[in-house]
C-alpha cells in the first residue's frame, strides 16, 4: 500500500513534467513542493525524505527535493551491486565449483585419498548441483574416499556479515553468512502448509532435506478465520568466532522447532534459518550425496586449500551472471548480493574476496564509470542490510541513468527489476493503472522506505526515479493519510503541453 501511494506521486509528477512543460505545470510543481513541506511538518520532524526524477529522453532532472542528502539506501543498494558486478565480471561470467583428488588415476579398487570440494563464490550452487558433481565423479570409477573431505572456500575471507548489520537479523535466513563455498544460500528453509482438517498438525518440510539438523514441528491447522502465527526457532548460538567476529546460525545436530498455527486454506508459507558454518554444511551435504551414490566415506570433514587436488573429477558451471541477478533484484536476495559483492572486489582489485574489497570496487565503479563524487558515499555491503551505507537519491538516479544508456549490461538490470503488479517484490503493488508501467527496486527496513527504478509515462518518456524515506516512525497510519492528501492534490494537476 505504501509503495502505491508514494509511487503515484512520482508518476503523476512524471505526467506533468515531460515534453514541453507549461508555466502552469511548473507552478503546480512549486505547489507540490510546498505541500511536501507541509506533509513533513505534520508527520514528524525526524522524517527524512529525498526524491529525484530524471527524463531519459531529455537527460534533464524534472523534479528534485533534498536529492543530494546522503541517506540509507537499504535494498535499493542491490541495483548498484548488480551494476558493478556486471561491469567488472560481465553478463556472461560463470562461477565454477569442482571436485578433485590428490590421488592419480586409474584408481586401484576405486579408492581415492582426499576429496576436495572447491568453490569460487557461486551464490546459487544447490544440493542438486552437488549431486550432479558426485554423479560425474562416480563415472571415474570412484567407489571409496579413504581420506578426508576438504572444503576449499578460500576465494573469500571468513568474515560472515557486513558492518552495520543488525544483531537481530543474524541467524535468520535472509542474513545468512556468505562464503566461498556456498550451498543452498547457506540456509535451511522450512515450508509450512495447513492440513485438510482444523486441529490437525499442519505439514512442515525442510529444504534441503538433510541430517545436518533435525526438524520438530507442533504447528497446527486453525480455522480459516484464524490468524497466521507461526514461530520458527532454534538455539542460534550467537557468539564470537576465533577471529573475534560474530557468528550466528544453526549447527550440526541442532533441532529446528516450528510451533503455532496456520489457517485452513492458507497458502504454503516459507521461513528459513542461516547455517553458522557454511563450509562444514557444504562438506556434510557432500558426504550425504556420496552415500546416495554408494561411495564409501568414513573420514573427517575439514576446511583447507585444494592445491594438492591435482586430479579433476567433476566440475559445475553456474548460470551466467546476467541471469543470476534476476532473483537478486526481483526477490531482493541478500545472499546473492553479498556473494557478488565479494566476487566483484576480487575481479576488480585482486586478492581474496572481502567486504572491504567489494566496497572499494563499488566506490571505484561509481567514481570512474558513473562519474559520481564519492566523497559522501559510504558502501559497506552489497545487499543494503547495513545501516552504514549512504547514497543520495541524486546519486541513485545517476546510476539508473547510466544503466539506461549502457547497451552492454543495462538491459540485463532493467529486465531483472520487479515489475509493478506483475512479479517480484512489486507483485502485489500498483495493480491499477500503473500495472506494468514501473520497474523498480524496493528497499525497506525498520524506519526506512525506499523505491528506485524506472517508470513509463503516457507521453512516451521513460523516467528514472529515486524516492528515499528514512527515519519513518511506526505506526505509519498518519503518514499514509498525509500521502493520500498529497495524491489528491497532485491527481488534480493537469498538463498543458504544446
| Mean pLDDT, residues 275-303 taken together | 97
Please tell me the predicted confidence (pLDDT) of residue 140. Answer: 95
CA angle 58, 63, 69 (to 5 degrees): 120
Question: Is the pLDDT confidence value at 118 over 70?
Answer: yes
CA 413 – CA 241 distance, rounded (Å): 37
pLDDT of residue 38: 63
Domain 2-91+322-491 in CATH: superfamily? Answer: DD-peptidase/beta-lactamase superfamily (3.40.710.10)
Which strand (E) or helix (H) includes residue 334?
Answer: helix 334-349
- The fold of 96-318 is 3.50.80
Give the integer Cα–Cα distance in Å for 446 and 469: 11
CA angle 481–486–487, rounded 5-degree value: 95
The pLDDT of residue 14 is above 80: no
Q: How many CB atoms lie within 10 A of CB 11?
A: 24
Peptide bond into 462 cis (omega under 30): no
Q: How many other C-beta atoms lie within 10 A of the C-beta of residue 327?
A: 16
C-beta of residue 224 within 8 angstroms of C-beta of residue 265: yes
pLDDT for residue 20 is more than 70? no
Q: Is the pLDDT of residue 246 over 80?
A: no
**pLDDT confidence tier of residue 242, bands split at 50, 70 and 90:** very low
Q: Are 149 and 299 in contact (CB under 8 A)?
A: yes
What count of residues does the chain have?
A: 498
Please give the Cα distance from 345 to 347 (Å, whole number): 5
pTM, full prediction: 0.88
- Please state, in angstroms and rounded to a whole number, the distance separating the CA atoms of residues 143 and 111: 6
SS3 107: coil
Residue 260: the pLDDT is 85
Element of type H or E holding 11: helix 2-17
240: part of which helix (H) or strand (E)?
strand 239-240
Q: What single-letter DSSP state applies at residue 437?
A: S
Instruction: Assess whether pLDDT exceeds 80 at residue 189.
Output: yes
- Where along the chain do its domains lie? 2-91+322-491, 96-318
User: Would residue 382 be called left, alpha or beta, if left means φ above 0 and alpha means ψ between -120 and 50 degrees?
Assistant: alpha
Mean pLDDT across 273-285: 96
More confidently predicted of 224 and 36 = 224
pLDDT (tens digit per residue) in 309-359? 999 999 999 999 999 999 999 999 999 999 999 999 999 999 999 999 999
63, β-bridge pairs = 53
- What percent of the chain is predicted at pLDDT more than 70? 81
Is residue 478 pLDDT above 70, yes or no?
no
pLDDT score of 234: 62
Q: What is the pLDDT of residues 361-385, one digit of tens each?
A: 999 999 999 999 999 999 999 999 9
Angstrom distance (rounded) from CA 416 to CA 299: 44
Is residue 13 within 8 A of residue 490, CB to CB? The reply is yes
Paired strand residues for 315? 98
**CA gap 175, 75 in Å, rounded:** 13
DSSP code of 316?
A: E
Question: What is the per-residue pLDDT for 488?
Answer: 34
**Long-range pairs for 321-326: beta carbons < 8 A, 24 or more residues apart:** 321/85, 321/86, 321/89, 321/90, 321/91, 321/92, 321/93, 321/94, 322/86, 322/91, 322/92, 322/409, 322/412, 324/123, 324/124, 325/82, 325/85, 325/86, 325/412, 325/413, 325/416, 326/415, 326/416
* Among candidate residues 182, 167, 175, 162, the one with its CA nearest the CA of residue 345: 162
Average pLDDT over residues 165-192: 92
Q: Which residue has the cell 542491490?
A: 78
Could you give the angle at the alpha carbon of 262 between the alpha carbons of 259 and 266, nearest 5°? 150
- Which pLDDT does position 36 carry in this prediction? 58
Instruction: Provide the grid cell at 170.
Output: 543474524
Asked if 122 and 183 touch (Cβ cutoff 8 Å), the reply is no
Amino acid at each position: 500500500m505504501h509503495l502505491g501511494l508514494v509511487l503515484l506521486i512520482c508518476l503523476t509528477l512524471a505526467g506533468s513534467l515531460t515534453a514541453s512543460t507549461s508555466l502552469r505545470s511548473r507552478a503546480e510543481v512549486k505547489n507540490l513542493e510546498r505541500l511536501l513541506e507541509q506533509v513533513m511538518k505534520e508527520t514528524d520532524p525526524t522524517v527524512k525524505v529525498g526524491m529525484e526524477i530524471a527524463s531519459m529522453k531529455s537527460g534533464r532532472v524534472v523534479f528534485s527535493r533534498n536529492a543530494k542528502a546522503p541517506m540509507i539506501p537499504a535494498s535499493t543498494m542491490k541495483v548498484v551491486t548488480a551494476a558493478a558486478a556486471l561491469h567488472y565480471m560481465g553478463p556472461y561470467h560463470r562461477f565454477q565449483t569442482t571436485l578433485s583428488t590428490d590421488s592419480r588415476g586409474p584408481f586401484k579398487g576405486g579408492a581415492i585419498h582426499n576429496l576436495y570440494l572447491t568453490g569460487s563464490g557461486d551464490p546459487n550452487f544447490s544440493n542438486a548441483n552437488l549431486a550432479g558433481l558426485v554423479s560425474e565423479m562416480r563415472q571415474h570409477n570412484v567407489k571409496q574416499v579413504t581420506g578426508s573431505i576438504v572444503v576449499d572456500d578460500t576465494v573469500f575471507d571468513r568474515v560472515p556479515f557486513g558492518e552495520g548489520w543488525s544483531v537481530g537479523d543474524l541467524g535468520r535466513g535472509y542474513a545468512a553468512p556468505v562464503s566461498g563455498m556456498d550451498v543452498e544460500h547457506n540456509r535451511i528453509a522450512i515450508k509450512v502448509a495447513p492440513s485438510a482438517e482444523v486441529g490437525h498438525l499442519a505439514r512442515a518440510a525442510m529444504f534441503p532435506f538433510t541430517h545436518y539438523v533435525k526438524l520438530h514441528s507442533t504447528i497446527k491447522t486453525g480455522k480459516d478465520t484464524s490468524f497466521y502465527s507461526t514461530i520458527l526457532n532454534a538455539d542460534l548460538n550467537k557468539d564470537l568466532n576465533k577471529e573475534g567476529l560474530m557468528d550466528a546460525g544453526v549447527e550440526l545436530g541442532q533441532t529446528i522447532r516450528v510451533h503455532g498455527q496456520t489457517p485452513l486454506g492458507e497458502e504454503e508459507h516459507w521461513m528459513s534459518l542461516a547455517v553458522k558454518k557454511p563450509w562444514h554444511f557444504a562438506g556434510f551435504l557432500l558426504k550425504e550425496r556420496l552415500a546416495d551414490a554408494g561411495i564409501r566415506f568414513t573420514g573427517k570433514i575439514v576446511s583447507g586449500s585444494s592445491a594438492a587436488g591435482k586430479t579433476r573429477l567433476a566440475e559445475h558451471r553456474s548460470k551466467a551472471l546476467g541471469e543470476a541477478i534476476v532473483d537478486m533484484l526481483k526477490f531482493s536476495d541478500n545472499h546473492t548480493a553479498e556473494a557478488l559483492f565479494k566476487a566483484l572486489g576480487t575481479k576488480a582489485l585482486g586478492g581474496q574476496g572481502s567486504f572491504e574489497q567489494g566496497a572499494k570496487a563499488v566506490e571505484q565503479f561509481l567514481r570512474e564509470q558513473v562519474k559520481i563524487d564519492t566523497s559522501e558515499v559510504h558502501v559497506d555491503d552489497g545487499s543494503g542490510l547495513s545501516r552504514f551505507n549512504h547514497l543520495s537519491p541524486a546519486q541513485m538516479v545517476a546510476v539508473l541513468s547510466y544503466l539506461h544508456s549502457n547497451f552492454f549490461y543495462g538491459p540485463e538490470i532493467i529486465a531483472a527489476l520487479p515489475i509493478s503488479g506483475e512479479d517480484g517484490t512489486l507483485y502485489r503493488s500498483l495493480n491499477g493503472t500503473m500495472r506494468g508501467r514501473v520497474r523498480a527496486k524496493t528497499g525497506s527496513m525498520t524506519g526506512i522506505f525506499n523505491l528506485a527504478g524506472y517508470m513509463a509515462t503516457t507521453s512516451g518518456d521513460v523516467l528514472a526515479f529515486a524516492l528515499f524515506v528514512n527515519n519513518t516512525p511506526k505506526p505509519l497510519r498518519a503518514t499514509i493519510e498525509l500521502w493520500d492528501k498529497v495524491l489528491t492534490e497532485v491527481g488534480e494537476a493537469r498538463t498543458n503541453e504544446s
